[in-house]
Chain A
Amino acid sequence: MLLLGNEAIARGAIEAGIGVATCYPGTPSSEIPDTFFTLYQEAGFYFEYSTNEKVALEVASGAAISGVRSMCTMKHVGMNVASDALMTLAYLGVNAGMVVINADDPSLFSSQNEQDNRYYARLSALPMMEPTTAQEMKDMTVAAFDVSEKLKLPVILRTTTRLNHLRGSVTFGKRRPITSKGSFKKDPFHYVAIPAVSRNLHKILAEKYDQSLQLSEKSEYNRMTGTGKCGIVTNGVSMNYVQDAINDLGISDKVTLLRLGFSHPMPENLIVKFLKGVDKVLVVEELEPIMENEIRSIAQSKGIGIPIKGKGDNLFPQLFEFDPGLVRKTIASYFDVPDTSPQPVEVTDVPELPGRPPNLCAGCPHRAMYYAIKKVYGPDAIYPSDIGCYTLGVLPPLSMADIVICMGASVGSSCGIAAATDQKVVAFIGDSTFFHSGIPGLINAVHNKHKFTLVILDNGTTAMTGQQPHPGVDTEPMGVDTTQISIESVVRGVGVEHVEVVNPLQVKKAVAAAQASKDFDGISVIISKELCPLYARAIKKARKVRPFYVNQDKCTHRLDCINYLACPAMYLDDGKTMINENLCIGCAVCAQVCPENAILPLKN
């Protein structure tokens, strides 16, 4: 069966008999929890979309300490959020297998940075495993649970975007029965991390590290193949590129290949054996030179002086992902073998091509709110923003994002800008992001009396990552029993006095709310409440409406609709403003923006 890498991981977790799965979504990891969400009730394990990654990790650790196998999934930057819990959980350890799925994103396909989370294994002293194929994503997940149980430590399974989003053939294995209930056994001198306890726990972790090293030395995922004098070391997705390059270049008899799948701790003895059999080494790893540096250090301590190269010196770049051609060419030049890569076509007569950036959808309520705020605050106010669909508002003509750091930072950074300048500040945050990490910032703003406006873009879902529920969502239509939390109550509850809830599609009211926030001296919140229309369609709550058209007799070509809204359903044809009726969802915002009342619903 052809499975998405993420589906293969979910299958592996089920074969391993997980009892509890938690997550906060994030590309490229989201299809793992989304697969759990469709399966968990029938399969009989517990699953939740948690409020953020730290909470997700804590929930999973509570379960694993209580003797229930658990999994927690997140994207790489999620690990930053979860890391406070992770560092000390490593001290406490677990009683049943616990696997943390960490999805890195080299080349930043959909992330704010491309940090290399292999460092987290080093920081926490936890074992890390890195699969190479869809089949291994399943098999290694099962194996990671066994390693975790042997060591009584959580294991980090690290993937990269290309692995999460490849589809490959996967043969299923046997399912272990699911155990979803365990029991917590009191042992405060092991589980209460006060200094006196933790000093001892740190010693235990050091012993467990030595045991993991032994497992790594013997792991079937750390293999050496071939007997040639050209040494290559690789991990993860790069293993595919290396194997294909060796075949394409026809050099399998010249190469000794060391593949590290149980990649932390690195198997020292195996590496020494490898180094002793080769003349020079090329390390093929995306992002940071982690294996390269550690292998060099092992070589140095054993007095082995052969060249060990990876990054720099016309070899591999430290930024962005690799591809098969890059790996083939670099191997060919480093080991001085003829390269057989085909040459890309050279075309000189291609005109400059227009870009096709992603855009807020036609009828997106975020666009309507941006219009209202900009109408009142103008282009000079400072607009800190956050992470979600609404970040696309950075593009002209909206240009409604001036600073984005990480989830939740819209609120905190606004406090700083408001404190350090006399500029007007209006921050934007999505509903899922507000629950994830916006609330502490808002409490800070209230408590420390910062003066700015926070617009919470409540579209009723986590749109960017695939419409997952969050604490503010009514999950009854999904057949899930949760308690829905009102954003308005939270905002009022932390002490914000000026709060307005508006439907951004009602332009006059939205503009009035923006004006009132501007006139208020203090922290104010506008909750912009309207479902994402794609989500509304998915849960069958979309209203039936007629698309709009531009009455050419009335249109005076002031182009307010294009210059201030720029809904992608609009286009210019020979100077005439037109609406593509197949794209228009009839939100009626442009009709309210048009000063000539030239935009009208189509009659059927």
Chain B
Amino acid sequence: METKRIVFVGVGGQGNLLATRLLGEACLAAGIPAVVSEIHGMAQRGGIVESALVMGDATSPIVSEGEADILVGFEPLETLRALNKCNQDTVIIVNVHPLPPFTVAIGQGVYPDVDKALETIRNAVSSLIALDGDELAAKAGNPLSLNMVMVGALIGSKSIPLDGDVLKDTISKTTKQAFLDSNLKAFDFGIAAAHSPLDPSKSGIKS
């Protein structure tokens, strides 16, 4: 089958490794070859966390500059930083909720204006899906379900050949009972958000 290369970027604690792993499991369940790559180590200490999922016949676990078919950004600044992974046909899915790094908090460096950042991203690639993932996760009843929102948005974007049912099945198999409801809800919110994304020029988010 056609290869799809998906890059996930986020910050320690946002759960993007788990999201990537879940998608990998779902691929196997759907009979699609998949390989996932993770960078461990700095997640706990507030650093950048990057992972990748390569679906299809390719066997390389990582994605080179300009070669992501999809970029799933859990945080706007990190999405901007990962633009070098994209080409003009890349689909970008971005959570617009900013998490300023500590350097900004103590006055070394300035967090970019989110609206302008979204504008930049929209001009660079053919398709941008923006959503307030943190708000949707909170609405689903668990702020930690942001990763399920983002997985939902990826499925809702229809940019990979996986359907929602396989994912729900995998989520049900791998989630603790206490979080299952909120995770499934978050996943559905993500799908819906991909169908009617925020208008980036009016996200109303200022940093």
Q: 1/0 contact trace for A334-365 toward B, CB 8 Å?
A: 00000001111111011111111111110000
Q: A325-B64, A343-B66 are contacts. A349–B109 as well, Cβ < 8 Å?
A: no
Among A325, A351, A358, the residue within 8 A (CB) of B67 is: A325
Tell me the bound Cα distance from A579 to B57 in angstroms. 49
Tell me the bound Cα distance from A357 to B105 in angstroms. 13
Among B31-39, B159-167, B186-194, the stretch in contact with A? B31-39
CB-defined contacts of A347 to chain B, threshold 8 Å: 83, 120, 123-124
Closest to A572 in B: B107
Q: Are B66 and A325 in contact (CB under 8 A)?
A: yes
Is residue B78 within 8 Å, beta carbon to beta carbon, of the partner chain?
yes
Tell me the bound Cα distance from A356 to B47 in angstroms. 6
Is residue A399 within 8 Å, beta carbon to beta carbon, of the partner chain?
no
Among B40, B42, B101, the residue within 8 A (CB) of A354 is: B101
Is residue A84 within 8 Å, beta carbon to beta carbon, of the partner chain?
no
Q: Are B62 and A323 in contact (CB under 8 A)?
A: yes
CB-defined contacts of B112 to chain A, threshold 8 Å: 350-351, 353
Is residue B177 within 8 Å, beta carbon to beta carbon, of the partner chain?
no
CB-defined contacts of A132 to chain B, threshold 8 Å: 59
Q: Are B89 and A342 in contact (CB under 8 A)?
A: yes
Is residue A2 within 8 Å, beta carbon to beta carbon, of the partner chain?
yes
Q: Is the interface of A mostly helix, strand, loop or mixed?
A: loop
Closest to B52 in A: A166
Closest to B41 in A: A110
Q: How many whole Å from A485's CB to the nearest CB in chain B?
A: 27
Q: Are B40 and A165 in contact (CB under 8 A)?
A: yes
Q: Are A165 and B38 in contact (CB under 8 A)?
A: yes
CB-defined contacts of A342 to chain B, threshold 8 Å: 66-67, 87, 89
Is residue B24 within 8 Å, beta carbon to beta carbon, of the partner chain?
yes
Is residue B132 within 8 Å, beta carbon to beta carbon, of the partner chain?
no
Q: Are A109 and B41 in contact (CB under 8 A)?
A: yes
Among A4, A244, A351, A389, the residue within 8 A (CB) of B60 is: A244
Among A43-51, A119-127, A221-229, A563-571, the stretch in contact with B? A563-571
Among A237, A341, A349, the residue within 8 A (CB) of B66 is: A341
Q: Are B28 and A169 in contact (CB under 8 A)?
A: yes
Q: 1/0 contact trace for A154-171 toward B, CB 8 Å?
A: 000000011001111100
Tell me the bound Cα distance from A351 to B81 in angstroms. 10
CB-defined contacts of B83 to chain A, threshold 8 Å: 345, 347, 350
Q: Which of A237-276 contact B (CB under 8 A)?
A: 237, 240-241, 243-244, 247
Tell me the bound Cα distance from A168 to B24 in angstroms. 8
Tell me the bound Cα distance from A182 to B112 in angstroms. 64
Closest to B58 in A: A244
CB-defined contacts of A323 to chain B, threshold 8 Å: 60, 62-65
Closest to A465 in B: B41
Q: 1/0 contact trace for B63-83 toward A, CB 8 Å?
A: 111110000000001101101
Q: How many whole Å from B48's CB to the nearest CB in chain A?
A: 5
Closest to A467 in B: B44
Q: How many whole Å from A523's CB to the nearest CB in chain B?
A: 32
Q: Are B44 and A240 in contact (CB under 8 A)?
A: no
Q: Are B45 and A343 in contact (CB under 8 A)?
A: no
Is residue A133 within 8 Å, beta carbon to beta carbon, of the partner chain?
yes
Closest to B61 in A: A166
Tell me the bound Cα distance from A326 to B67 in angstroms. 11
Q: Are B87 and A345 in contact (CB under 8 A)?
A: yes
CB-defined contacts of B89 to chain A, threshold 8 Å: 342
Q: How many whole Å from B16's CB to the nearest CB in chain A?
A: 14
Q: Are A354 and B109 in contact (CB under 8 A)?
A: yes
Tell me the bound Cα distance from A571 to B100 in angstroms. 10
Is residue B125 within 8 Å, beta carbon to beta carbon, of the partner chain?
yes
The 10 closest A-B pairs by CB, nearest first: A354-B109, A325-B64, A344-B66, A571-B105, A358-B47, A167-B36, A358-B45, A356-B101, A166-B61, A342-B87
Query: Could you jot down 27 A-B contacts, CB within 8 Å?
Result: A2-B21, A2-B28, A27-B41, A166-B35, A240-B59, A240-B60, A243-B59, A244-B59, A323-B65, A324-B60, A324-B63, A342-B89, A345-B66, A345-B86, A352-B109, A353-B109, A354-B110, A356-B46, A357-B47, A358-B42, A358-B45, A361-B44, A361-B45, A534-B44, A570-B105, A571-B106, A572-B106
Q: Which residues of A line the B interface, CB within 8 A? A: 1-2, 4, 27-28, 31, 109-110, 132-134, 161-162, 165-169, 237, 240-241, 243-244, 247, 323-326, 341-347, 349-361, 389, 392, 397, 534, 562, 566, 568, 570-572
15 further contact pairs, Cβ within 8 A, besides A325-B67, A572-B107? A109-B39, A166-B38, A167-B21, A247-B57, A324-B63, A324-B67, A345-B90, A347-B123, A354-B77, A354-B101, A356-B77, A361-B46, A571-B100, A571-B102, A572-B106
